[in-house]
């Protein structure tokens, strides 16, 4: 469950009301939510395959810069050449699906159909570092490319929180 302060922070980060939040999965060192866990199905029953969703705009910006550097092409090439890395990435995919199915069971909703994507291109491609890093932040040690990309990022939180929800500003 998420409290009102965290929900307000996530809304400010996203610039919209968040949907289907289950909990804060990772807090930025500044104390704000940075990754939320979302329900596998939104309240209206719509499938939502992204279990771990990066919300911190400072982290997202730093990740976007990293993606623009061409690192994903290098990762993709290594995935095709390194069987141990491919196996670890497959395990990350399996972990993601298992956690998403467990969330569906906890929420009492139908799990997403077999074959529904996991996140970030797993297990065959390296498509979105935002999703891979969100997985790694939420489940440390789970995602080899998420860890690698996270280690390449600057300390985005050093300049302070990314947002100040209105409720805090009024104090």
Residue 165: predicted pLDDT? 65
Global model pTM greater than 0.85:
yes
Residue 138: predicted pLDDT? 98
The set of long-range contacts for 30-33, using a CB threshold of 8 Å and a minimum separation of 24, is 30/157, 30/160, 30/161, 30/162, 31/161, 32/56, 32/161, 32/162, 32/163, 33/2, 33/6, 33/9
When pLDDT is averaged across residues 56-75 and rounded to a whole number, the result is 96
Domain ranges, ordered by start, for the chain: 4-169
Confidence band (pLDDT; 50, 70, 90) for 171?
Answer: very low
pLDDT digits (tens, 9 = 90+) for 24-39: 999 999 899 999 999 9
Mean pLDDT of the chain: 93
Residue 43 to residue 108: CA distance in whole angstroms: 12
pLDDT digits (tens, 9 = 90+) for 109-168: 999 999 899 999 999 999 999 999 999 999 999 999 999 999 999 998 888 788 876 545
Residue 168: predicted pLDDT? 53
């Amino acid at each position: 469950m998420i409290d009102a302060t965290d929900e307000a922070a996530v809304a400010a980060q996203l610039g919209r009301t968040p949907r289907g939040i289950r909990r804060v999965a990772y807090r930025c060192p500044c104390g704000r939510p940075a990754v939320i866990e979302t329900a596998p199905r939104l309240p209206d029953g719509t499938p939502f395959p992204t279990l771990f969703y990066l919300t911190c705009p400072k982290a997202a910006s730093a990740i976007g810069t990293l993606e623009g550097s061409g690192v994903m092409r290098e990762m993709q090439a290594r995935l095709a050449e390194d069987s141990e890395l491919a196996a670890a990435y497959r395990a990350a995919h399996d972990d993601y699906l298992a956690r998403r199915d467990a969330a569906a069971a906890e929420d009492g909703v139908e799990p997403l159909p077999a074959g529904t994507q996991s996140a970030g291109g797993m297990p065959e491609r390296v498509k979105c570092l935002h999703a891979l890093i969100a997985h790694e932040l939420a489940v440390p040690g789970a995602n080899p490319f998420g860890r690698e990309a996270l280690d390449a990022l600057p300390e985005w939180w050093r300049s302070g929180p990314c947002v100040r929800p209105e409720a805090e500003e009024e104090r």
